[in-house]
């Protein structure tokens, strides 16, 4: 195993989840969504996890029978192949489905179209994509901008140089040969709930579900969860 960047500093933090991590309640909800979505994909399908990190999901779903491979630019292990996400080392049309979970925001804005185009290239026509991205235009960010002219970013600029509003990600998908088939999101960031969960995620993580029930609009949620597919007319 070799790791650089954040994984060298923090270790396998997705594999060993810290309940005090402010993102933990959202991460747990995201895993539930991934599991529900993967259950729709036949285990005969070949799946690529792009930006797989330490490969916790690859290991989990491979152990349950899926044919899944991970790639990451900062990690290498028996479950993850080190690769440039802007130039994937696979033939065109090599995969039936792909995951790209909390990855695009770590890629510079001008490089994101290339990353998505590479995912589209290695997918078969009609191949599915599960994408999750933090939404810069979540509810708390909109309210703060209206009141003070400042945004509530989803992380420090150094960590998320590719932060975008959800609407821009949707347009980017369309421009890179994808069509969105379903979208939702996690955590409508009501101001008091947002601060409470960030400060005490282990005890107050249940507020994530409450906020989503009160504000049932995906475009106002912190994390966007998107199911898409490569347009069938786009040949590899």
Asked if 71 and 83 count as a contact pair (C-beta separation under 8 A), the reply is yes
Domains of the chain are 2-230 (3.40.50.150)
pLDDT at 233: 72
Asked if 14 and 21 count as a contact pair (C-beta separation under 8 A), the reply is no
Q: Is residue 182 helix, strand or coil?
A: strand
Query: DSSP E strands: which ranges in 120-234?
Result: 123-134, 178-188, 221-230
pLDDT at 52: 95
- Per-residue pLDDT tens over the stretch 190-205: 999 999 999 999 999 9
Q: For each of the chain's 236 residues, which pLDDT tens digit applies?
A: 665 666 555 556 666 778 899 999 999 999 999 999 999 999 999 999 999 998 999 999 999 999 999 999 988 888 899 999 999 999 999 999 999 999 999 999 999 999 999 999 999 999 999 999 999 999 999 999 999 999 999 999 999 999 999 999 999 999 999 999 999 999 999 999 999 999 999 999 999 999 999 999 999 999 999 999 999 875 44
Token representation of residue 94: 């090599």
Environment class of residue 179 by beta-carbon count within 10 Å: exposed (0-12), middle (13-18) or buried (19+)? middle
120 sits in which H/E element: helix 112-122
Q: How far apart are CA 223 and CA 225, in angstroms?
A: 6
φ and ψ of 69, to 5 deg: -130, 140
pLDDT at 10: 58
pLDDT at 213: 96
- Per-residue pLDDT tens over the stretch 17-35: 788 999 999 999 999 999 9
Total residues belonging to the chain: 236
Query: How far lies 167's CA from each of 48, 103, 107, 138, 228, in Å?
Result: 25, 17, 17, 11, 15
Residues near 149 by beta carbon (within 8 Å), at least 6 away in sequence: none
**187-207 b/e (C-beta count within 10 Å ≥ 16 → b):** bbbbeebbebbeeebeebbeb
Residue ranges of alpha helices (H) inside 41-101 are 56-63
pLDDT at 102: 97
Angle between helices 166-175 and 112-122 (to 10 degrees): 50
């Amino acid at each position: 195993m070799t790791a650089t960047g954040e994984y060298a500093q923090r270790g396998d933090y997705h594999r060993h989840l810290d309940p005090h991590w402010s993102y933990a309640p959202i991460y747990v909800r995201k895993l539930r969504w991934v599991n529900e979505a993967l259950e729709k994909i036949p285990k005969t399908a070949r799946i690529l996890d792009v930006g797989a990190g330490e490969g916790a999901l690859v290991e989990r779903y491979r152990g349950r029978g899926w044919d899944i491979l991970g790639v990451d630019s900062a990690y290498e292990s028996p479950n993850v192949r080190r690769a440039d996400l802007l130039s994937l080392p696979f033939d065109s049309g090599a995969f039936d489905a792909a995951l790209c979970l909390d990855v695009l925001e770590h890629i510079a804005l001008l490089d994101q179209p290339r990353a998505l185009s590479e995912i589209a290239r290695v997918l078969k026509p009609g191949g599915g994509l599960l994408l999750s991205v933090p939404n810069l235009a979540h509810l708390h960010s909109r309210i703060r901008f209206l009141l003070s002219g400042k945004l509530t970013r989803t992380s420090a600029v150094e960590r998320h140089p590719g932060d975008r509003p959800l609407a821009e990600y949707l347009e980017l998908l369309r421009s890179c040969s994808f069509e969105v088939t379903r979208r939702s999101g996690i955590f409508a960031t009501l101001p008091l709930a947002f601060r409470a969960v960030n400060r005490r995620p282990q005890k107050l993580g249940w507020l994530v579900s409450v906020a989503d029930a009160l504000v049932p609009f995906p475009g106002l949620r912190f994390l966007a969860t998107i199911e898409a597919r490569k347009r069938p007319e786009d040949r590899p």
